[in-house]
């Protein structure tokens, strides 16, 4: 599988990154079988996916614990990414959401970040984290200055506890402020062929500054696999209900578009999911598409997307089809 550099760091990681939000389970994703998840993570590594992304907020520590168990004994073979900034251990920060009895706040104060880092190291059962990302930027009237947050991250780096620095859910001004105060290697942002809001200002800025982009929700929570039909119904708490493309009138248009790509999946001997992931990986500015997997076969399918090369004419055709969809009905 192709490997790409994480920003200006000396870390090379697989172009496909395994996202482990769903592995954390909880109200967003429902129950998750830990043993199946561990098998999926190991299968990903065996198939060439060396980049694994997690976060404390994924199942309130559960995803990190599962990832830690899965990479035990093969830690040197993987690039581990986790996050900080969603805080539920105290009253610091600004309220973000309530779930499962926890009150979660956005907080990027150095004192809470250090506590989060120690908790993550323990859950992951490792001495260091390859890529440490601020999960959400602080809100409110007087957020912690990014200079203070970056200063703390640079301290972690000097101490050998992290190797590279990232930020997620950022604005253009956030990126400029981070890079003014230190080396920002990557940002992790929502980007799918149905949601290309990063183009062109965001992708251009990251390119100019040498910042990689990790694209999350690559498969639009499963919609772009073509496996979620018009008869699919979701529970009230599922995250998919918040995505306009899942509304019936929008979903119908997406499924029609995907159906029109049958000749492409036949041409490249691939699934729709592999086709979409491979397309995402070659979009300007996108460095690492994140794709989730809770079963071995899904992990193996994801890995094949990292070795799939789509001809330029077909890449353009797919973009034209996507742009023809227009904006979703809200």
Domain definitions of the chain by residue range: 3-223+273-310
The correct answer on CATH 3.30.300.10 for the domain covering 3-223+273-310 is no
pTM: 0.95
Tell me the pLDDT of the chain averaged across its residues.
95
Distance CA 266, CA 273 (A): 13
- Give the pLDDT of residue 234: 85
Residue tagged active-site, from 58, 132, 178, 191? 58
Distance CA 210, CA 196 (A): 20
Q: Is 239 a catalytic residue?
A: no
- pLDDT tens profile 278-324: 999 999 999 999 999 899 999 999 999 999 999 999 999 999 999 99
Percentage of residues in the chain having pLDDT higher than 90? 91
When pLDDT is averaged across residues 129-153 and rounded to a whole number, the result is: 96
- Give the pLDDT of residue 141: 86
Torsion of CA 24, 27, 33, 37, to 10 degrees: -30
Res 240 pLDDT > 90: no
- With H, G, I as helix, E, B as strand and everything else as coil, classify residue 99: strand
């Amino acid at each position: 599988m192709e490997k790409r550099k994480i920003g200006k760091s000396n870390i090379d990681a697989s172009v496909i990154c395994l996202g482990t939000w769903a592995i954390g389970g909880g109200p967003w994703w429902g129950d998750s079988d830990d043993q199946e998840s561990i098998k999926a993570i190991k299968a990903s590594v065996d198939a060439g996916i060396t980049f694994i992304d997690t976060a404390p907020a994924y199942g309130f520590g559960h995803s990190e614990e599962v990832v830690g168990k899965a990479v035990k004994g093969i830690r040197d073979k993987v690039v581990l990414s986790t996050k900080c900034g969603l805080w539920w251990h105290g009253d610091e920060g600004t309220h973000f959401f309530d779930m499962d009895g926890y009150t979660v706040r956005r907080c990027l104060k150095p004192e809470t970040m250090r506590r989060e880092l120690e908790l993550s190291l323990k859950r992951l059962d490792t001495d260091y984290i390859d890529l440490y990302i601020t999960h959400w930027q602080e809100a409110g009237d007087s957020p912690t200055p990014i200079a203070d947050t970056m200063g703390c991250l640079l301290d972690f780096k000097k101490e050998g506890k992290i190797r590279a620095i990232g930020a997620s859910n950022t604005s253009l001004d956030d990126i400029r402020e981070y890079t003014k105060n230190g080396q920002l290697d990557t940002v992790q942002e929502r980007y799918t062929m149905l949601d290309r809001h990063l183009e062109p200002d965001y992708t251009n800025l990251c390119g100019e500054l040498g910042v990689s982009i990790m694209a999350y929700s690559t498969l639009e929570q499963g919609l772009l696999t073509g496996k979620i039909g018009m008869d699919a119904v979701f529970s009230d708490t599922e995250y998919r209900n918040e995505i306009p493309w899942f509304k019936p009138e929008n979903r119908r248009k997406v499924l029609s578009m995907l159906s029109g790509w049958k000749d492409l999946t036949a041409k490249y001997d691939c699934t729709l999911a592999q086709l979409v992931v491979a397309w995402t990986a070659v979009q300007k500015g996108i460095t690492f598409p994140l794709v989730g997997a809770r079963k071995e076969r899904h992990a193996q399918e994801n890995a094949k997307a990292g070795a799939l090369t789509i001809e330029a004419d077909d890449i353009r055709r797919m973009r034209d089809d996507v742009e023809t969809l227009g904006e979703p009905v809200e």
